[in-house]
Amino acid sequence: MLDEFSQLLSRARGGDPDAMRRIAEQYEAKVRVVARVHLGPALRPYLDSQDLLQSVHRSLMVGLREDRFDISSPDKLIALTLTMVRRKIARQWRHLRRQDRLSGASHGSSNLALLLTSLSSPRQDPAAEAQFRDTVEHLCDNLDDVEQRIVDLRLQGYAAPEIGERLGLSAVNVRVRMTRLRQRLVSAGVMDDWL
């Protein structure tokens, strides 16, 4: 089966439309579901799961043709496309916030826990939704002042060097702190791609 998959990838890299269609069939449904789950109320007015799916497909096909991806199995293909969609969502959020900031649109002082919760899709179960909100609030309450400012500035669309400049830290220090914060977000069940 892996040999068949390798042949299919090879044909897709060569631009074979049938191979590209068959590759896309392997990840489409999962990417669409992940896109819907990660498009919380704050992003739904700006992004559509179908548009995200097309963007992932376009990026994957370009990457395959340029031989940028080492995909050895269908599982790795799916993992790559799911990572792509999460990053595209986070990048779009930061882009929107950056545009707001540059245009002078004010969001006032944001409640970090509320903002992180609004970026996640609501759970079907009200008890699970309440537990998720509590988890996010607990996480945010346990961040020190610098960590809160880093997350807040990152969610506003600032890059690591800009955050470092605003907080008097080196860009390397900000990146290290963001890596640690990502780990905490993942362990709390919050999408880490926002940082």
Q: Are residues 69 and 147 in the same domain?
A: no
Contact status, residue 31 vs residue 52, Cβ threshold 8 Å:
yes
Q: Are residues 121 and 71 in the same domain?
A: no
For the stretch 101-120, pLDDT in tens is 767 655 544 567 766 666 66
The residue segments making up the domain with residue 172 are 112-194
Q: Are residues 151 and 184 in the same domain?
A: yes
pLDDT for 18 equals 94
Residue spans of alpha helices (H) in the chain: 2-13, 17-38, 49-65, 74-103, 112-118, 126-141, 145-155, 160-167, 171-187
Last residue of a domain, one of 68, 103, 138: 103
Cα dihedral: 157, 132, 84, 34 (round 10): -130
DSSP label of 121? P
pLDDT for 19 equals 92
Measured CA to CA, the distance from residue 35 to residue 47 in angstroms comes to 9
pLDDT for 169 equals 94
Contact status, residue 163 vs residue 153, Cβ threshold 8 Å:
yes
Task: HSE, CB side, 13 Å, CA atoms: give it for residue 94.
Answer: 18
Contact status, residue 195 vs residue 154, Cβ threshold 8 Å:
yes
Q: Are residues 17 and 99 in the same domain?
A: yes
Q: Are residues 27 and 67 in the same domain?
A: yes
Q: Are residues 16 and 96 in the same domain?
A: yes
Q: Are residues 7 and 99 in the same domain?
A: yes
Q: Are residues 117 and 189 in the same domain?
A: yes
Last residue of a domain, one of 103, 124, 157: 103
What is the number of domains present in the chain? Answer: 2
What type of residue is 37? Answer: V
Q: Are residues 94 and 122 in the same domain?
A: no
pLDDT for 191 equals 62
Helix axes 160-167, 145-155, angle to 10 degrees: 140
Q: Are residues 41 and 123 in the same domain?
A: no
Q: The CATH number of the domain where 156 resides is what?
A: 1.10.10
pLDDT for 83 equals 87
Q: Are residues 17 and 94 in the same domain?
A: yes
- pLDDT (tens, 9 = 90+) of the chain, 195 residues, equals 678 888 998 999 888 999 999 999 988 988 888 887 777 666 778 888 888 889 999 999 999 888 898 888 899 999 899 889 888 887 887 787 777 776 765 554 456 776 666 666 555 666 777 777 788 888 888 889 999 899 888 877 788 899 999 999 999 999 999 999 888 877 777 665 565
Q: The CATH number of the domain where 59 resides is what?
A: 1.10.1740.10
Measured CA to CA, the distance from residue 103 to residue 87 in angstroms comes to 24
What type of residue is 158? Answer: Y
Is this prediction's pTM over 0.85?
no
Last residue of a domain, one of 70, 103, 136: 103
